[in-house]
Chain A
């Protein structure tokens, strides 16, 4: 991570654009991530938000947690709505009816991104709209009742992929959304986690300056869905990175940077044993997952070192 980050606290605004008083669960990693994202975004933005946890906890009529212009329409169309906002601003600016340089931001959960919203997101990335798409990934459909999504990791027990006598829980590997975003050949892709707040905010600040689409995938720890005490959110996020399960990296025009590299990754058991959703896993499955994590991390590291300046 950049050593400059240590000086950043003084530069972080005290202004909150995601107001306190929302209805998120105790210890919600996503609410924390949204708060940090909004701080980094500043006031000159318009947010399009998908149906999901953040919409439900922040906007029960007649109250709102949003101190910036915000629109929610449906579950799967957030990217498309954001592309409309961006195009609308563009034409109005051209005609002299809009003078600000406003950044458009789309926010969605993993279900709204990797599953039902996948097509609209792909369309937006392909068309090259000047906007930031942020996926808050808590690895399941959480506010509908902890059901599996294509972003749920292998072996996690959810209400629609329950662990049972003949099942390990989720039977497929987590869909690699950042890699899919990279495949669209967009200018900026990054992963982040609320447990590394300055890294997260730096990435948002970077995305604001980029012309064209940026995709930021934020791991958001969910104590409710992960069966985890609510005071362990930050720790769980850190362990996801330290075990190599969720590496922090950036891809700028095909150039990979591993933001936080470890000579030695921690064993994934350290991360798993904190959480109820992996409690049932046998040693055999755990070691399979361990192998996969090591292999994926090595691949990423190779990409980062081979193209480094």
Chain B
């Protein structure tokens, strides 16, 4: 297995090539562009035998993906921010029609004001669209989880589109050391995609008929059940992948959290910087640990409960607002922990909106401030950290 220094976007493009993707439809949007530019190069050079459809909008990108996937071609696209929003209604169709499209989202803030920098507002706005959603923290994870995403999405009992999130620029544009897999290894891991009911004149099917009230609820319940039960496939695929690569992934990952009284929870590339703060604070003798939420949909309720069961304080750092409500990750976690008899005190912070940086020292401050708030019992409202007054 070779190890190469490479930009996160290119590492994802390498994974797409190794996955022998057959169709890519894309519209350029910062910061995902490097992914599809590299794929276009692969196709242009004959390194990847795929149809590259240079569509005129993200709405059409996802729409073209519906077509390529429905006819039985392995399909990939990538987007971010406003592009993801423009796709929004098509996302529901992809999952409702059970088409296993794989999409990278290079997370970026939403307008207005216009921002090209990273936060999770775009991801959170698509929370309920029925896709499997996974967060990667760095280029290596992006490479690994891309390959896993196809296996998961195309599993006959899953057949759901999969979105994996990387933080724009922090992962997409940063050069990191990435360990790749050989083509033969990937070929064994990822068999050919065959949709059980493709569009085929020899076996005509009607896809996307309309659902009158007597059938719509049942259709949605089936979708819900499929998404929930995808978790066992996700676990199986990640386990299989760890045997192949030595890198293990799970829905909720703890970092030095075994004896911690105070836990910080975050998603995406954030967790990498947070680890530095945890290392330093632990060296100072403080009982703090980190929880990284990797699987966002289906939501890993059991794993989360287990991971935080012994802690007294759980500090949740959201990278998006739910304007006028509770920050999205926090509200999910509150809901998951509410039925428990004993649960940690939850402190809710929102930070790093629109690309505002938080340093390792910043994370230390977040944790300290969170502990203070928990002690004082000021837990009814969230706080946006680092605001210039």
Contact = CB atoms under 8 A, between A and B. Distances in A.
A127 B60 CA distance: 12
A87 interface: yes
Contact of A92 (B55, B66, B71, B89): B71
B73 A80 contact: no
B175 interface: no
Interface in B166-208: 199-208
A87 B93 contact: no
B72 interface: yes
A44 B202 CA distance: 8
B215 interface: yes
15 contacts: A46-B200, A59-B208, A69-B206, A70-B206, A71-B206, A74-B90, A76-B59, A80-B63, A83-B67, A86-B67, A88-B23, A91-B23, A98-B72, A127-B53, A127-B54
Contacts of A43: 201
Interface in A16-75: 43-46, 48, 55-56, 59-62, 64, 66-74
Given A59-B209, A84-B53, A120-B63, 9 more contacts: A64-B209, A70-B204, A72-B210, A77-B66, A88-B68, A91-B49, A92-B72, A95-B49, A119-B56
Interface in B362-381: none
What 4 A-B pairs have minimum CB-CB distances, sorted nearest first? A84-B67, A123-B56, A77-B63, A84-B64
Contacts of A86: 67
A84 B76 CA distance: 12
Contacts of B69: 84, 88
Interface string B201-228: 1111111111110010001000000000
A267 to B, nearest CB: 42
A100 B276 CA distance: 58
A87 B199 contact: no
B163 interface: no
Given A45-B201, A84-B53, A89 B209 contact: no
Contact of B71 (A59, A79, A88, A120): A88
A77 B68 CA distance: 14
B15 interface: no
Nearest to A120: B60
A208 interface: no
A48 B211 CA distance: 18
A216 B207 CA distance: 24
A127 to B, nearest CB: 7
Nearest to B205: A69
Interface string B64-88: 1111111111010000000000000
The interface size bin for chain A is 35 or more
B22 A71 contact: no
Interface residues of B, number: 45
A71 B56 contact: no
Contacts of A77: 59-60, 63, 66, 90
B37 interface: no
Contacts of B22: 88, 91-92, 95
A107 B211 CA distance: 20
A194 B23 CA distance: 37
B49 A72 contact: no
B170 to A, nearest CB: 31
B51 interface: yes
Contacts of A120: 56-57, 59-60, 63
Contacts of A100: 201-202
Contacts of A60: 209-210, 212
A283 interface: no
Given A81-B66, A91-B22, A91-B73, A59 B210 contact: yes
Given A45-B201, A74-B90, A81-B66, A61 B73 contact: no
B50 interface: yes
Interface string B19-63: 000110100000000000000000000000111011111011001
Given A92-B22, A122-B56, A123-B57, A72 B67 contact: no
Contacts of B90: 73-74, 77
B97 interface: yes
Contacts of B203: 69
Contact of B63 (A44, A64, A73, A89): A73
B53 A94 contact: no
A165 interface: no
Interface string A97-108: 110101000000
